[in-house]
Chain A
Amino acid sequence: MNETRLSTFQWTTLVTLRMLVGWHFLYEGVAKLLKGNWSAYGFLMESKWIFAEYFHALAGNATVLSVVNTMNIWGLILIGLGLIMGLFTRIAAGGGILLILLYYVCNPPFVGLFYSIPMEGHYLFVNKNLVELGALLVLIAIPSQQVAGLDRILYKLIKK
C-alpha cells in the first residue's frame, strides 16, 4: 500500500462499493428471515454441473437443509453488517466470497446448462454473483475499513 497513495475520492468510492455490497448481503438475509418459511430447497434442487449430486443431497435431508437455511440466512446478515459497519471486514468479505462461490458452483451459467428458475437477465460464465465476488476481492485487497469503518478504531485499540 505504501507505493501508491489513494485520493479521498478513491477511498470514498471503495467505501461506497463496500456499503453497496454489504446492503445487498444484509437484505438478502433479512428478507429470507422475515419471510419465515424461506428455504434453499428449490435453489439446491436446480443444481447442475459436477457438484449437483452433493447439493441435491443437502436439499434431500430435512435436518441438513434446515442447518443450511439457518447458516445461509445468518451468514448473509452478519456479512452484510460487517461490510457496512467495516467491522471484521476481511473476515466478512472472505465469508462472502465463500458463500457466493457456493451459489456459483451450485448453478453456474456455463455453456449448455439451462435453468427453470426465473432469471432477470442473460448470463454466460459471468453472472452477478461472480461480479459481486470480484468486488469482494477488491475489498480484501484494499482495506477501506482502515479509513472508514469500526476496524479503524479497532486497529488503533490493538496497536496501543
Chain B
Amino acid sequence: MNEEEKSKSPGRAIDRRDFLQGLAGVPVIGAFALAALKQESFRRASRARQAAATAGGEAPAELRIALLGVGAQGSVLLNSMLKIPGLRFQAVCDIWTEYNLKRAGNLLKKYGHEAALYHDYREMLDKEKGLDAVVIATPDFWHADHTIACLQAGLHVYCEKEMSNTLEGARRMVQAARESGKLLQIGHQRRSNPRYIFCRDTLLQELQLIGRPVTAFGQWNRSAAPDLGWPKKYEIPADQLRRYGYDSMAQFCNWRWYKKLGGGPIVDLGSHQIDIFSWFLGANPKSVQASGGTDYYDKSTHEWYDTVLATYEYETPAGLVRAHYKTQTTNGSLGYFEQFMGDQGTLVISESAGMGLVYREKANAPSWDEWVRKGYLTEPKLIEVKAESESDSLDVRETISPDEHRIALQFNDPYHKPHLENFFSAVRGKGKLNCPAEVGYESAVAVLKVNEAVEARKTLDFSPEEFKI
C-alpha cells in the first residue's frame, strides 16, 4: 500500500506512522526558530553598539568656565557646552559689547548662569577668581596672545583652530602650554567625533578595511555669499576697533579674508580636513603644491584666496599616498567630505549629515560579511546604474562593483560637543586630550604652507623637523 492509500483509510486509529509524519513540520520549525534567533541576535548586537556610542554619562563636579570671543563660532561652542553637564559659566568676554556680548549674556541667563561680562580679556583674567578653564573663539590672529595670557593665569585652554595665523604664534602657544603645565586643546573637533574615531581606529587601523591606502581627497564647497554686514546701531567705535587690531567694522566682521587677521578658506575650512589626512594616514606631509587665488570676489576686501587646490604627498607606514584638497567659496554643490582610497576599498566620511560610506573593491578585498554581522557596517547596497532615459532603463539595473556600505555607527550630538567633553574630562584628570597643542601645531604647519605654495607657484617640501618644537 502506498502513502496515499494509507493516509486515505478513514476510520483507522491514529498509528505511530500518522503521528511521525503528521509532525514532519516540527523539526523545520525548530531549525527556523534557531536561525531566526541567531539572525536577530546579530541585529540586536549591532543596534546595541550604535546605542552605546551615543549614551551619556553621570553628572561630574562643576567646572568654572570663561568664554573669550562669542561671535559666530563662539556661539556654536556655547550651544554645545550648554548640553554638557557640570559646567558653570562665570564670565564672558567680547569686544562687540552691544551685540555678541549681550547676546551671549542673555542666552546664559536663560540657562541660569549669571556670567560677568567683559570687553577686555586682561581685565577678565585679573578680576575673575576661581576659574578652571577658558574657551577661546576669537579671530585667529588673537589666538596666541589670548591663549598665552590664559595659560599664564593658570587656566586650562580650549582654543579654536586655526591655532594661529602664524607659525611663530603657534609655537609660542605650545611653549606656554608646556611652561604652565596647563592643558591646551586645539579645536579640530573631528578628532573627538565618535564616527571619525571609529573610522580611523577600527576600520582603517584594526580591520585595514581599505587595504593599502593610495590616494586621499577632501573638499569643502561653499556657495558664493556677500560679505557679512552688521546692524548700524551696534557699530563698534573706531578707536575701540583700532585698539584690537581692526581697520573698520567691515574688516572686523569679515576678518577671515584679511592676511593679517586670518588665513582664508584653506585655513578656515581646509584645516579641518587636511588635519584628517594626517590623522588617518598616520603621517605628516612631505611636500605640497598648490594653486589658488581670489578669482571671484573683490581683491581689496578678499586678500585671501577664494579658491584653492592643493596636493600633498604623504610618506605613510604603508607607502606613498597622494592627497588632493579643494576648497571653493563660489559654489556649494557636493558640500564637504573626506575620501580615502586603498587597493581594497574606499572610505568617504563627512562631519555633515552623518555621511559615512565604504565601498568594497570586489576584485581585491576579502569578504566584509563579518563586519556587517558585528555591526560595524550596514548591509551592502548594490550600486545601480541609473537609467539615462526611460527608453534604455529596462536593461540597466545591472549590479556593478563595488558594494556600498554605510558605517553603522551613528552620532547625533552637536559636532563640537565630544571635543569639548574630551577637554573638560582631561581638565578633571580623566583621559588625555585628543588634540593637544603639539598636534594642533603639526596641523598648522601642514595647512599654512598651502598659502605659501600658492604664492611660490612651486612644490614646497616639509622637513620632519618643521613639525617639531
Contacts and interface: CB of A to CB of B under 8 A. Distances in A.
B10 A114 contact: no
Contacts of B8: 146
Given A114-B394, A156-B10, A19 B40 contact: no
Contacts, number: 88
A84 B32 contact: yes
A155 B24 CA distance: 16
Contacts of B382: 118, 120
B25 A23 contact: no
Contacts of A37: none
Nearest to B8: A146
B25 A147 contact: no
B14 A156 contact: yes
B292 to A, nearest CB: 41
A7 B28 contact: no
Contacts of A84: 25, 28-29, 32
Contact of A86 (B3, B11, B22): B22
A147 B7 contact: yes
Nearest to B395: A122
Interface string A77-103: 000010011110000000000000000
Contacts of A152: 7, 18, 21-22
Given A114-B393, A118-B384, A149-B25, A155 B7 contact: yes
A119 B10 contact: no
B4 interface: yes
A85 B21 CA distance: 10
Interface string B383-411: 01001001001110100000000000000
B2 interface: yes
Nearest to B22: A153
Contacts of B52: none
A30 B36 contact: yes
B83 interface: no
B232 interface: no
A27 interface: yes
A87 to B, nearest CB: 8
A10 to B, nearest CB: 9
B259 interface: no
Interface in B1-48: 2-4, 7-8, 10-14, 18-19, 21-26, 28-29, 32, 36, 40, 43
A114 B32 CA distance: 35
B109 interface: no
Interface string A102-117: 0000000000001000
A148 B24 contact: yes
B468 interface: no
B25 A6 contact: no
B381 interface: yes
A122 B10 CA distance: 48
Contacts of B4: 1, 5-6, 11, 146-147
B390 A114 contact: yes
A114 B387 contact: yes
A5 B2 contact: yes
Contact of A156 (B12, B26, B387): B12
Interface in A33-83: 34, 81
Contact of B11 (A1, A19, A23, A159): A159
B11 A150 contact: no
B28 A23 contact: yes
A15 interface: yes
A17 interface: no
Contacts of B43: 34
Nearest to B384: A118
A93 to B, nearest CB: 14
B459 to A, nearest CB: 46
A15 B4 CA distance: 13
A156 B18 contact: yes
Interface in A117-160: 118-120, 122, 146-153, 155-157, 159-160
Contacts of A22: 25, 28
A84 B21 CA distance: 12
A15 B393 CA distance: 40
A150 B10 contact: no
A148 B19 CA distance: 9
B379 to A, nearest CB: 12
A92 to B, nearest CB: 11
B160 to A, nearest CB: 40
A84 B40 CA distance: 21
Interface of A: 1, 5-8, 11, 15, 19, 22-23, 26-27, 30-31, 34, 81, 84-87, 114, 118-120, 122, 146-153, 155-157, 159-160
Q: Sort A-B residue pairs by CB-CB distance and give the 3 closest, nearest first.
A: A159-B10, A85-B25, A148-B24
19 contacts: A5-B4, A6-B4, A19-B28, A22-B28, A23-B32, A31-B36, A81-B29, A84-B25, A84-B28, A85-B25, A114-B393, A118-B382, A118-B384, A120-B382, A148-B22, A149-B24, A152-B21, A152-B22, A156-B12
Given A7-B2, A85-B26, 15 more contacts: A8-B3, A22-B28, A27-B36, A81-B29, A84-B29, A84-B32, A146-B8, A147-B21, A149-B22, A150-B25, A152-B7, A152-B21, A153-B18, A153-B19, A160-B11
Interface of B: 2-4, 7-8, 10-14, 18-19, 21-26, 28-29, 32, 36, 40, 43, 381-382, 384, 387, 390, 393-395, 397
